[in-house]
Amino acid sequence: MNLAFFALTAALVVANSGCCSSSSVPLFIPPFTDCAQSRGRDGFYRGAIDVTESGTRCMNWTEVAGFKERYPDKGIGEHNHCRNPDGRIRPWCFFKNHKGRVDWGYCDCKQGSVRLQGGRSKLDGRVDVYLGGEWGSVCSDDWGDEDAAVVCRQLGKGVSGRARAVPLIRPGIVKLHWRSVHCQGDEPDLLQCPKTLWNGKECSLAAAVTCTQQKAAAMLPIRLVGGQMRSEGTVEVFHAGQWGSVCDDQWDDSDAEVVCRQLGLSGVARAWGQAHFGKGSGRVWLDEVRCTGNELTLEQCPKSAWGEHNCLHSEDAGVSCNSLTDGTVRLVGGAGSYEGRVEVFYHGQWGTVCDDGWKDSNTQVVCRQLGYRFGETVVSEGLDITPVPRFGVGSGPILLDDVSCTGKEPGLLLCNKREWLLHDCTHNEDVIITCSPEHSGDSLPSSVPVRLVGGESPREGRVELYLSGQWGTVCDDGWTDRDAEVVCRQLRYSGMAKARVMAYFGEGTGPIHVDNVKCSGEERSLADCIKQAPGTHNCRHSEDAGVICDYGESQPSYKEVKDPVNSICGLRLIHTRQRRIIGGENSLR
């Protein structure tokens, strides 16, 4: 820095904090090409690095009075990202040193960079991270697909990736930075993920990835925060180096559908307004979003300019991507999925059941619906008492009251009850039950929820069942069109049904619930075809079963999608699955 600039810096810092420590950084720093878009006064760093090259966290620029006014339109604002407002090649920032005084230092914009080493192509390899001036690997402990997706996105090699582990060539000699990484999958870079530093213990396998590079529209980073599940929350988008919320003006289910699609979440999309999942912080980035529902990403929807809005955070928009069906039940607050407070899913949200008129026959129906043989009520009928402490107190709406079952119903929704949300109760009257931890060996409950995942439209995909509180897949042993016909009938499709095997719609995660399904084609639900005990199988997820409902009928129109991908020679892709084999004897389509 020149002397005039340093004098200005010192004066501003003294005015702000009363003291300033001089830096020993030399006046000339060799250009670091990772840091600047171009050289000289025309190049201003706009990235999200917020630590100095010594690893110290930067201060917010507004904490140093006068700088934003001194250098307008140079990227300085309500953030702590490194900048070079004076046009120097190396960006820098203010920070507080070990004495609590304001100092400044240059930033190493390579900090947190990732690369892939030793792979068969540019899309796979061992993950190396640049920290503290040197490259190092990551131990494969807890390494998962969510972590891989962040690496691939950071490298610009697609929006999804498969986690792998590879042997370390020289264990004990190769530099290791982190023991484990725990990404959610929507972070813009690996530095934003929770992680555990390397503790010197033995590690024989390093984290690696295989990226799936898709020629699709540029993905605007997006995430859901504040929800109880990863499939719901306040919508936040990443722009200009920081996350910000979306205003709920014009926000509806069509917008929510696009958000869910972009995040790869299936099911029914529902829009929420008025900061339903909590108020955000930082900027409100978008307003007046008006999607048709066919877009591939939120970026393609009509909307206001970045940062232009008339909203408060009390108007933050949210979504829930519900893969559940109305009437699904769960038990919450217990030691396992077999006991706890009874909650029912309805119109995109979970709610409790009041114990007015609750009988043991009701409990038997709930337990049977969850796949258990027996059950008993913990909170007795009609007693307005403090809930059993270990189960906690319910929250959210009280959805049902005065439920009366004979005990023979396959699901709670078939019992007599009041209208939804009509009650005279408090959460002190929430129903609490416990079911036998041992599953019924006879069959699944006949009302077990079914969904299709991974297809190009809602009427096709991998078959998944909701059992014992979690979604799981179906093995394709013996899987035929007759089984597919029953699945489609249960999901209220009336056209021709086709079975798909060998994870045609992608491999699932979680448990494989059932195997050796044998339907005649006349059953009302898939549960009627299953006699084998849940969880009994000899399969892997590469054998997950799938279906196509209404086979042969026209697919939903995508003509209204505005530039879903870049056009090449007048052609563009209109489906998310971009490659398939056609015309051969063994073609599946």
In the numeric block, which tokens belong to residue 24? 């020993």
Residue 288 to residue 513: CA distance in whole angstroms: 43
Is residue 278 pLDDT above 60, yes or no?
yes
Is residue 385 pLDDT above 80, yes or no?
no
Residue 380 to residue 383: CA distance in whole angstroms: 6
Q: What's the pLDDT band for 442 if we cut at 50, 70, 90?
A: very low
CATH number of 329-435: 3.10.250.10
The answer to whether 264 and 349 are in contact (CB under 8 A) is no
pTM for this prediction: 0.34
Q: Does domain 223-322 have CATH number 3.10.20.30?
A: no
Average pLDDT, the chain: 77
Is residue 460 pLDDT above 50, yes or no?
yes
Greatest mean pLDDT among 269-283, 317-331, 575-589: 269-283
- DSSP SS3 for 15: helix
Top-level CATH class of 114-212? alpha beta
What one-character DSSP code corresponds to residue 331? E
The answer to whether 469 and 337 are in contact (CB under 8 A) is yes
Top-confidence residue, 284 or 534? 284
Sorted by where each begins, the domain ranges of the chain are 1-109, 114-212, 223-322, 329-435, 450-548
Q: What's residue 191's pLDDT? A: 79
Top-confidence residue, 374 or 331? 331
Q: What's residue 48's pLDDT? A: 67
Percent of the chain at pLDDT above 70? 77
HSE on the CB side for 321, CA within 13 Å?
23
Q: What's residue 380's pLDDT? A: 45
Residue 48 to residue 109: CA distance in whole angstroms: 9
Which of the residue ranges 105-114, 174-183, 225-234 would you say has the lowest mean pLDDT?
Answer: 105-114
Mind listing the pLDDT tens digit for each residue in 27-72?
Answer: 333 333 344 433 333 345 666 677 787 777 888 888 887 777 777 7
Q: What's residue 53's pLDDT? A: 75
Mind listing the pLDDT tens digit for each residue in 411-427?
Answer: 888 899 999 899 999 98
The residue among 311, 306, 300 whose CA lies nearest residue 274 is 311
The answer to whether 543 and 476 are in contact (CB under 8 A) is yes
Mind listing the pLDDT tens digit for each residue in 131-145?
Answer: 877 888 999 888 988
Residue 60 to residue 63: CA distance in whole angstroms: 6
The residue among 35, 32, 27 whose CA lies nearest residue 4 is 27
450-548 matches 114-212 in CATH topology: yes
Residue 343 to residue 322: CA distance in whole angstroms: 15
Mind listing the pLDDT tens digit for each residue in 461-492?
Answer: 999 987 766 778 999 988 999 999 999 988 88
Q: Would you give the end-to-end CA distance of the chain in angstroms? A: 65
CATH number of 1-109: 2.40.20.10
Residue 245 to residue 275: CA distance in whole angstroms: 10
CATH superfamily name and code, 450-548: SRCR-like domain (3.10.250.10)
